[in-house]
Structure 1
């Protein structure tokens, strides 16, 4: 159960941040939030989020701040803004996917101001965020993490403490490598079956009952079967960003990623065909077009 009156600040109210805010409100927390996108801010306000005028204001009076950000530049700027607040003892949980060195830089900047940053990326899609079906990979100060458990339980199905700062991101890279590969494999399989004359809906029904099933097949198979990739649960832009981070991380360790390397050009092609702002399930459209099946674009 949440502590009575516990207040959460959320910086970034997009697909993930907005869904998390709604679930925290439903769980009994007070939530204030900020997003530079006015449309996202207004949507969050209709769900009960108290809108703040800046990232700094989102941290005012908050017991915990969650940051769900689109870029390293946004993380750097947010860290500078929060550090200037001089809120010693404040805990910030960074739930985005960024290079570890970027999060370490933010951690060090905040630590100089007495603020604790946790590395807590999430595994799950925007649709899963809506239903609180997320996994949180936490790392950093263990005592600070323990103080956040009730908040994490308000928006995630499960949370794992993984030790030293950065281990959360390392685990997320492993998870997202599998997501990128499974997503392309699901699209390839559905295109193959459709081209062979099988009904796409029957493909979903039958494959989901057997050994070929996967969580990604269940989540994105329906939109692939329909050839409709909106609304997005994770955009092509985001997957490309994450895949590039994973590829660089693997190269630095001397680890080959042949499956990720094979999938990456498909996502680039999907963006080139105009699917950049649609769901990553749109990789299906690339393979469908190559196979001579009808597509929307």
Structure 2
């Protein structure tokens, strides 16, 4: 595949995805409103575009990595949005953790102009984006998915095509709902062990050998919590947003999910102790600030 790939949004995720594609011998043109982000991307081999129109003139596959659904809508459907700039036959891959309604609305406008749109939110954080080991859950037309599969394969180690447009976002919201809850329940399990006089590190090892393990216990706690590193690259604010998306989706469907709602409440309440800019794994500190605080005597 010789396509020139455009990446819009050069934050921690977008920039590292772009850099991974460069390493895989793709030509990548990047755009971001932040000059700092653009300079960092250039250092990683990305060609900068000063305007969206410059990017769209050269790219028939465009990847979005944006903060929220409203940014996706603005970039795609705004007065100077992508639907007014890209040529027919272009495929837009949206890796933003967005909402299904926005993806479906954007896709409906794109199809009128013979533009394909896939919602393809990712998991794995900036490190996974940089290593090309992310997982992707994808919604959209199967023909469009197959067309861009070589690009997706270069960016990720695991891909699941979930269904029509919007299905990828629903799958990602469900995944992050679990990840958010697992961080809290793992912190509670280790607190239980500590209060009972057993080494939490040993109990974490035991959990990871048993049926209670999760990505929180296997990766997040060993890497960022127990080490007190708290530098995953994913923030409290972003996870609060994702938990809020799960809560809103459940309410819109009139589904009773008591565990999910309690988790959402705990994440919402954590704003009184943890800033949006803090690492998302810091949520463990709300359960046990002495055990999980950045200093043992915090």
TM-score, normalised by the number of residues in structure 1: 0.89
1:284 and 1:294, CA in 2 relative to 1: closer, same or farther beyond 3 A? Answer: closer
Give per-residue Cα distances to partners, 1:241-271, cap 9 Å, x unaligned.
1111111112222222222222223323433
Find the aligned partners of 2:235 and 2:126 in 1 and give their Cα distance.
10
Q: SS of 2:259's equivalent?
A: helix
Give secondary structure in 2 for the equivalent of 1:233: coil
**Is it true that 1:48 corresponds to 2:49 in the alignment?**
no
User: Residue 273 of structure 2 corresponds to which residue in structure 1?
Assistant: 273
Residue equivalent to 2:293: 295
CA distance in 2, matches of 1:190, 1:225: 10
Superposed displacement of residue 210, structure 1: 2.8
Which residue does the alignment assign to 1:139? Answer: 139
Range with greater deviation from structure 2 (211-220 or 146-155): 211-220
Deviations 1:49-103 (A, max 9, x none): 1111133333231121010111223112211311121411110011111121111
CA displacement at 1:195 relative to structure 2: 4.3
- Decide whether the 8 Å contact of 2:226 with 2:292 is kept in 1: no
Q: 1:52 to 1:39 in 2, by over 3 A?
A: same
Q: Which residue of 1 aligns with 2:60?
A: 63
Shift of 1:193: 3.3
Residue pair 1:7, 1:31 contacting (<8 A) in 2 also:
yes
Instruction: Name 1:215's counterpart in structure 2.
Output: 215
Which string of whole-angstrom CA distances, capped at 9 and with x for unpartnered residues, describes residues 10-33 of structure 1? 111112212211211111111111
Residue 162 of structure 1 and its aligned partner are, at CA, apart by 2.5
- What are structure 2's unaligned runs of at least 5 residues? none
Q: Partner of 1:143: helix, strand, or coil? A: helix
* Further displaced range: 124-133 or 141-150: 124-133
In the aligned structure 2, how far is the partner of 1:213 from the partner of 1:164?
31
Q: Which residue of 2 aligns with 1:104?
A: 104
Equivalent of 2:14, from 3, 13, 17? 17
Residue 138 of structure 1 deviates from its aligned partner by 1.6
Residue aligned with 1:110, SS: helix
Following superposition, the deviation at residue 198 of structure 1 comes to: 4.4
Distance in 2 separating the partners of 1:95 and 1:181: 23
Extract unaligned runs of 5+ from structure 1.
none
Alignment of 1:127-166 (within 5 A): 127-166=127-166
TM-score when normalising by structure 2: 0.89
Per-residue deviation, residues 200-251 of structure 1 (Å, max 9, x unmatched): 544444432333221222221022113331x233211111111111111122
Q: Partner of 2:118: helix, strand, or coil?
A: strand
Correspondent of 2:4 among 7, 10, 21: 7
Query: Once the 2 structures are TM-superposed, how far is the Cα of residue 186 of structure 1 from its aligned partner?
Result: 1.9
CA distance in 2 between counterparts of 1:233 and 1:286 reads 19
Contact 1:91 1:115 in 2 (8 A): yes
Partner in structure 2 of residue 29 of structure 1: 26
Q: Do the aligned residues in 2 keep the contact of 1:84 with 1:113 (CA within 8 Å)?
A: no
How far apart in 2 are the matches of 1:131 and 1:210? 29
Q: Output one character per residue of 1:159-189: Cα deviation in whole Å (capped at 9) or x when no partner.
A: 1222321122222222122111112112222
Deviations along 1:137-172, one digit per CA (max 9) or x if unpaired, are 222222111110000000111212223211222222
Give the aligned length.
291
Determine if the alignment matches structure 1 residue 226 to structure 2 residue 227.
yes
Asked if structure 2 preserves the Cα contact closer than 8 Å seen for 1:13 and 1:68, the reply is yes
Distance, in Å, in 2 between the alignment partners of 1:232 and 1:138 is 24
Relative to 1, partners in 2 of residues 1:258 and 1:31: Cα closer, same or farther, differing over 3 Å?
same
